[in-house]
Amino acid sequence: MAWLIVLLFVLILCRVPIAFALSFVSFLGIMLTDPGLLINIPRKMFNGIDSFTLVAVPLFILAGELMTQGGISKRLIKFSQTLVGHLPGGLALVVVLASMFFSALTGTAIAAAAAIGGMMIPAMNKEGYDIRFSTSLVATSATIGPIIPPSIVLILYGVIASVSIGDLFIAGVIPGLLMGIGLMIYSYFVGKKHNYRSRAERASFKEIITGAKDAILALLMPLIIIGGITSGVFTATESGVIAVLYAFIVGKFVYKELEFKALWNILLSTAKTTATIVFLIGNAALFIWFLSFNSIPNQIIDMLGGISESPFLLLLIINVILLIAGTFIDTISAVSIFTPLFLPLVLAAGIDPIHFGIIMAVNLTIGMATPPLGVCLFVTASIGKISVPKMFKFLFPQVIILIVILFIITYIPDAILFPVHLFNG
């Protein structure tokens, strides 16, 4: 039955939607195994989406939409510019810093690429930045979104792998910071080489305080979410409700930029995105059950032989596979496919499932800024009105930096897991 996995990827390469590819392979496999098991399909799909934890997905999507419409992103950009705008490559540093702030609010790469890119790419053009550099940087910076909590990717992984969402959120902080710091160092040297500066002088203490006051409500939200989860005040799912209420109150009554007439489109967009994700998860649940029923993960372990007993080699192979897959499969679909395939191998090798979840998330989000189908590249290329291949000169060094950070995360697990151990005491 392992050949059905090959068929799945053939269907994906033939541009069959991931959810339908998963359901077709599962249906075919069940027909060949025991047609009488077909009666289980509706129940297994329903069981896959019948999870309280999954309620967090539409909530965080809605919170992100409310924040984008509520004027939060432009305040984050303004505050970031006060902090680092005077340095070489100041606006580039602003892009990365603002993406880190924005990612901590929405947890999605596309939202960050669209919101930050829409404001920063024209501003960087006006200051004389190379359009190839600015568009590629916005795309790679946006990949921090699915790593820094709250993260929809980590929520889905946690549901499929049955691990703590709170622990995944805590473990995602340091990798996200490392990715941001790596891109900021690169941007600094590019700015120094080309003499890119957005302001001549360092911001005064008064300017920094003023900017912080304007952005403080936006910056407090991730602290409230992480603090509430780690202290046990509310669960990761309940934190989604807090995020929605907070985003609505701040956008409507504090910043006063969120219009009631915009709520319908916000809710409609959230519903469409959620429906797509839930349909995919239902089919992924069927696929997972089919794999387990036929012991396919065990067959893969037997095929790998001694490699599955070496954590170093196993993680190297998985990294390569996920990096390649991330370039042509969207992140949420890839998590649904690869988690049930790789998790039994990882557990058999004694690798922490929290650690593996972060490795998977970082791998797949790098793919969002990697050709041929990196979705963030197309978002920023559209904003900058250039073709994706023109971005390659500046894009590839940034992707290499992210891959180096990925391997640090992979082979120095204590660097990202120590906060989890600290909070779990």
Q: Which residue has the tokens 């120095």?
A: 412
pLDDT, average across residues 193-204: 72
Give the C-alpha separation, 99 to 93, whole Å: 10
Instruction: Name the percent of the chain in helix, strand, coil, to the closest 5.
Output: 80, 0, 20
Task: Name which of 224, 215, 220 is nearest 242 in CA terms.
Answer: 224
pLDDT digits (tens, 9 = 90+) for 31-68: 888 888 888 888 888 887 887 777 877 887 787 778 77
Listed by start position, the domains of the chain span: 44-424
209 is written with which tokens? 């305080």
Cβ neighbourhood burial of 11 (10 Å; 0-12, 13-18, 19+) = middle
Phi, psi of 301, deg, nearest 5:
-60, -45
Residue 176 near residue 147 (C-beta atoms within 8 A): yes
pLDDT digits (tens, 9 = 90+) for 360-382: 999 988 988 888 767 788 888 88
Number of H helices, E strands in the chain: 20, 0
313 confidence band (pLDDT: 50, 70, 90): confident
Q: Is 300 helix (H, G, I), strand (E, B) or coil?
A: helix
Give the C-alpha separation, 355 to 150, whole Å: 17
Please tell me the least confidently modeled range out of 98-102, 181-185, 220-224, 259-263. 220-224
Give the C-alpha separation, 150 to 240, whole Å: 9
Give the C-alpha separation, 147 to 132, whole Å: 25
Please tell me the least confidently modeled range out of 22-36, 106-120, 138-152, 278-292. 106-120
Give the C-alpha separation, 112 to 138, whole Å: 8
Please tell me the least confidently modeled range out of 93-97, 107-111, 202-206, 324-328. 107-111
For position 75, what pLDDT does the model report? 77
User: Distance of alpha carbon 220 from its chain centroid, rounded?
Assistant: 20
Q: Is the omega angle on the peptide bond into residue 372 within 30 degrees of 0, that is, cis? A: yes
237 pLDDT more than 80: no
304 pLDDT more than 70: no
340 pLDDT more than 90: no
Give the C-alpha separation, 173 to 185, whole Å: 19
283 is written with which tokens? 């089919």
For position 178, what pLDDT does the model report? 95
Q: Give the best-scoring range by mean pLDDT among 51-55, 89-93, 108-112, 175-179.
A: 175-179
For position 357, what pLDDT does the model report? 95
12 confidence band (pLDDT: 50, 70, 90): confident
For position 137, what pLDDT does the model report? 94
C-alpha Rg value of the chain to the nearest Å:
22
117 pLDDT more than 70: yes
149 is written with which tokens? 């909590």
189 confidence band (pLDDT: 50, 70, 90): very high
Residue 146 near residue 365 (C-beta atoms within 8 A): yes
200 pLDDT more than 70: no
Please tell me the least confidently modeled range out of 119-128, 169-178, 287-296, 339-348. 287-296
* Average pLDDT across the chain, whole number: 82
pLDDT digits (tens, 9 = 90+) for 124-156: 888 888 999 999 999 999 888 788 887 888 888
Interacting residues of 9 by C-beta distance below 8 A, sequence separation 6+: none
1 confidence band (pLDDT: 50, 70, 90): low
Give the C-alpha separation, 359 to 4, whole Å: 26
Q: Which residue has the tokens 């941001």?
A: 180
**Residue 292, amino acid:** S
Task: Name which of 388, 88, 84 is nearest 99 in CA terms.
Answer: 84
166 confidence band (pLDDT: 50, 70, 90): confident
For position 308, what pLDDT does the model report? 63
194 confidence band (pLDDT: 50, 70, 90): confident
Number of residues assigned to the chain: 425
405 pLDDT more than 90: yes
103 confidence band (pLDDT: 50, 70, 90): low
Residue 146 near residue 104 (C-beta atoms within 8 A): no
Interacting residues of 42 by C-beta distance below 8 A, sequence separation 6+: none
Q: What percent of the chain has pLDDT over 70?
A: 93
For position 160, what pLDDT does the model report? 87
